[in-house]
Amino acid sequence: MGSVDHCLAGVTVGSGHNINKTAGLNIISSMPNLQHTQNKIVIGDDGYVLEDVPHLSDYIPNLPTYPNPLQDNPSYSVVKQYFVNVDDAVAQKIVVHKNSPRGKHFRRAGPRQKVYFEPDDVYACIVTCGGLCPGLNTVTREIVCGLYHMYGVSRVVGIDGGYRGFYSKNTIPLTPKVVNDIHKRGGTILGTSRGGHVTKKIVDSIQDRGMNQVYIIGGDGTQRGAAVIFEEIRRRGLNVAVAGIPKTIDNDIPVIDKSFGFDSAVEEAQRAISAAHVEATSFENGIGVVKLMGRDSGFIAMYATLASRDVDCCLIPESPFYLEGHGGLFEYIERRLKENGHMVIVIAEGAGQGLVSESLKSTDPSGNKLLPDVGLWISERIKEHFLKQKKMVINLKYIDPTYMIRAIPSNASDNVYCTLLAQSAVHGAMAGYTGFTVGPVNGRHAYIPFNRIIEKQNKVVITDRMWARLLSSTNQPSFLRTRDIIKENKEEEPPTQLANDSTSTDENSVEKQILC
């Protein structure tokens, strides 16, 4: 049952926690609440833990295997070791102490000696969901070309319009010729949408059309949907591999090093920052405010600031800030204007939402809260403060390039990255793995269980050295108090305010304004 590669990381199917010994390893199957998905955990010596991904042979017995077509592929014939070793794993953490355990690992991505699909039998589909992101077309192109050129698969279609396209629209035939130059365009040739996830209808469509490989490209909400789709496919016992390719311009997907489109977004953000800097330096007391994407994670704003060197202040969702009083943003702006005569502020769209009016509480079809325009709000507050309270004339220009950034084609770095993601996903699906997301972990591509991708969001750690580097680059105040640092470090005891605090009236006023 299955290849040697799969048997090494076998799993006991059943509820609860079961432990077996296979090849000298303890193999644990657990049934968490999320999606009722069984975790496949292999425990080895010295604290080695492999968080494995599902395999078709877990629930379909006696599946036949076939030699990997890559062994006869001219492109790979000169490579001596092009198959991944059966027990290759990728460590989640590479910085350890001499006495620390080896920690968690993920199954390394790449081609296997045996595959579970014959090329002529494969009917693959690709769907893109959620918001736009540079690289969507590149990933689509490389899945098609990877299936065709590496494995000889000729039947590949795109689902038109996101998840709802499975049951409401026709498919789009995809061949290497059709997708030849789509990586040069922004957006997605398949179309996309938010919401529209009716699991039964989607799986019915997959089953009725005879599809047996499903490639799902999208962010955390899309990957949650993919996990549900996989679970329904497994419940029905269908021989269908489900592979996720994580997409988010905000870089907020955990475990993986970064998401595709992020490098392109940071590069494009430089144009807006440069424009704001030109505007600011051309007028007396000029202020340029640039709003960048980042609902809950400020990675684009942070990296764009570090890359630019023209930014005086970067505000992100993870770092609380306040406007008035000693050490506040207004005081810092006044000081910078007196020192330099101009200033550039970069703010992520999710920053400062606790300071903005909460009148807008609706959500989009994906369940994301619709955020007020914090860039416009903070621009008006800055103007009001310096005009009415400081009697100081300023020239403020507000630039919002967020949707322009989403719509650009991916840059060279992201094009290479998207190729690796797509090919890793294809290798995994052909090898019979399913219910996984692919991505780089410490520079090595790995297959990651859906539950690890969707359990939380990746966020900037404001007590980390990268944020310290930004503060050093901009010379801005951190806006942090001792209790914020304690909270960020997640110490066991919750931070408490001293009863005999000797703060002034102004500081108490600031205390009420701070964003938590």
Q: Residue 499 falls within a domain, yes or no?
A: no
Does 146 lie in the same domain as 78? yes
- What is the pLDDT, as a whole number, of residue 166? 93
Alpha helices in 361-464 (DSSP H): 374-384, 402-406, 412-430, 450-454
Of the pLDDT bands very low, low, confident and very high (cuts 50, 70, 90), residue 175 is: very high
CA distances to 104, 324, 334, 348, 435 from 513, rounded to whole Å, are 41, 8, 19, 19, 45
Q: Residue 269 falls within a domain, yes or no?
A: yes
Does 159 lie in the same domain as 102? yes
**What is the amino acid identity at position 44?**
G
Of the pLDDT bands very low, low, confident and very high (cuts 50, 70, 90), residue 28 is: very low
Catalytic: 506? no
Would the annotation count 237 as a binding residue? no
- What is the pLDDT, as a whole number, of residue 211? 97
Q: Residue 509 falls within a domain, yes or no?
A: no
Region 204-210: mean pLDDT is 96
Would the annotation count 481 as a binding residue? no
By percentage, how much of the chain surpasses pLDDT 70? 82
CA atoms of 284 and 340, how far apart (whole Å)? 10
Least confident of 181-190, 357-366, 454-463: 357-366
- What is the pLDDT, as a whole number, of residue 206? 96
- What is the pLDDT, as a whole number, of residue 1? 39
Of the pLDDT bands very low, low, confident and very high (cuts 50, 70, 90), residue 506 is: very low
- What is the pLDDT, as a whole number, of residue 488? 52
Q: What's the DSSP call for residue 385?
A: I
Q: What is the pLDDT of residues 327-361, one digit of tens each?
A: 899 999 999 999 999 999 999 999 998 888 654 45
Q: Residue 202 falls within a domain, yes or no?
A: yes
Region 214-228: mean pLDDT is 94
CA distances to 147, 249, 485 from 72, rounded to whole Å, are 15, 38, 57
Does 238 lie in the same domain as 121? yes
Q: Residue 381 falls within a domain, yes or no?
A: yes
Does 319 lie in the same domain as 357? yes
Q: What is the pLDDT of residues 126-171, one digit of tens each?
A: 999 999 999 999 999 999 999 999 999 999 999 999 999 998 778 9
Does 237 lie in the same domain as 190? yes
- Contact between 497 and 313 under an 8 Å Cβ cutoff? The reply is no
- Contact between 291 and 375 under an 8 Å Cβ cutoff? The reply is yes
Of the pLDDT bands very low, low, confident and very high (cuts 50, 70, 90), residue 200 is: very high
For the chain, the straight-line distance linking the first and the last C-alpha, in angstroms and rounded, comes to 53
Would the annotation count 405 as a binding residue? yes
- What is the pLDDT, as a whole number, of residue 484? 52
Of the pLDDT bands very low, low, confident and very high (cuts 50, 70, 90), residue 3 is: very low
Total domains in the chain come to 2
More confident residue, 507 or 405: 405
Q: Look at residue 13 and tell me whether its pLDDT is greater than 80.
A: no
Q: Look at residue 197 and tell me whether its pLDDT is greater than 90.
A: no
Phi then psi for residue 344, to 5 deg, are -120, 130
- What is the pLDDT, as a whole number, of residue 97? 82
Least confident of 30-39, 63-72, 91-100, 181-190: 30-39
Output the average pLDDT for the chain: 84
Going by C-beta distance under 8 Å and a sequence separation of 6 or more, which residues neighbour residue 374? 291, 347, 349, 350, 351, 352, 353, 356
- What is the pLDDT, as a whole number, of residue 336? 94
Long-range residue pairs from 476-484, CB within 8 A, at least 24 positions apart, any chain: 476/312, 476/313, 476/314, 476/332, 477/327, 477/332, 478/319, 479/319, 479/320, 479/321, 479/322, 479/327, 479/328, 479/329, 480/319, 480/320, 481/514, 484/320
Would the annotation count 327 as a binding residue? no
CA atoms of 289 and 272, how far apart (whole Å)? 10
CATH number at residue 324: 3.40.50.460
Does 194 lie in the same domain as 59? yes
Phi then psi for residue 441, to 5 deg, are -125, 110
What is the residue range of 204's domain? Answer: 41-259+412-454
- Contact between 474 and 312 under an 8 Å Cβ cutoff? The reply is yes
Would the annotation count 354 as a binding residue? no
Does 419 lie in the same domain as 349? no
More confident residue, 146 or 512: 146
User: What is the Cα 293 distance to its own chain's centre?
Assistant: 13
Instruction: Please tell me the chain's helix, strand, coil percentages from 3-state DSSP, rounded to the nearest 5.
Output: 35, 20, 45
- What is the pLDDT, as a whole number, of residue 389? 77
Least confident of 12-21, 66-75, 302-311: 12-21
- Contact between 210 and 123 under an 8 Å Cβ cutoff? The reply is yes
Does 160 lie in the same domain as 65? yes
Of the pLDDT bands very low, low, confident and very high (cuts 50, 70, 90), residue 75 is: confident
In the block, which residue shows the tokens 């969507």?
136
CA atoms of 299 and 261, how far apart (whole Å)? 12
Q: What is the pLDDT of residues 361-383, one digit of tens each?
A: 555 555 556 678 999 999 999 99
- Contact between 285 and 164 under an 8 Å Cβ cutoff? The reply is no
- What is the pLDDT, as a whole number, of residue 487? 54
Region 106-123: mean pLDDT is 96
Region 55-62: mean pLDDT is 94
Q: How would you label 106-141 residue by residue, b for 16+ Cβ within 10 Å and e otherwise?
A: bbbbbbbbbbbbebeebbbbbbbbbbbbbbbbbbbb
- What is the pLDDT, as a whole number, of residue 388? 81
Would the annotation count 294 as a binding residue? yes
In the block, which residue shows the tokens 């991944």?
84
- What is the pLDDT, as a whole number, of residue 367? 56
Would the annotation count 194 as a binding residue? yes
Does 169 lie in the same domain as 222? yes
CATH number at residue 436: 3.40.50.450
CA distances to 4, 227, 429, 445 from 105, rounded to whole Å, are 19, 20, 20, 12
Q: Look at residue 23 and tell me whether its pLDDT is greater than 50.
A: no
- Contact between 41 and 52 under an 8 Å Cβ cutoff? The reply is yes
Q: Residue 502 falls within a domain, yes or no?
A: no
Q: Residue 149 falls within a domain, yes or no?
A: yes
- What is the pLDDT, as a whole number, of residue 278? 97
The active-site residue, picked from 52, 250, 310, 312, is 250
Does 57 lie in the same domain as 184? yes
Q: Could you count the other beta carbons within 10 Å of the beta carbon of residue 272?
A: 22
Does 399 lie in the same domain as 314? yes
Region 386-397: mean pLDDT is 86
Does 227 lie in the same domain as 107? yes
Would the annotation count 349 as a binding residue? yes
- What is the pLDDT, as a whole number, of residue 141? 98
Q: Residue 121 falls within a domain, yes or no?
A: yes
Region 208-217: mean pLDDT is 97
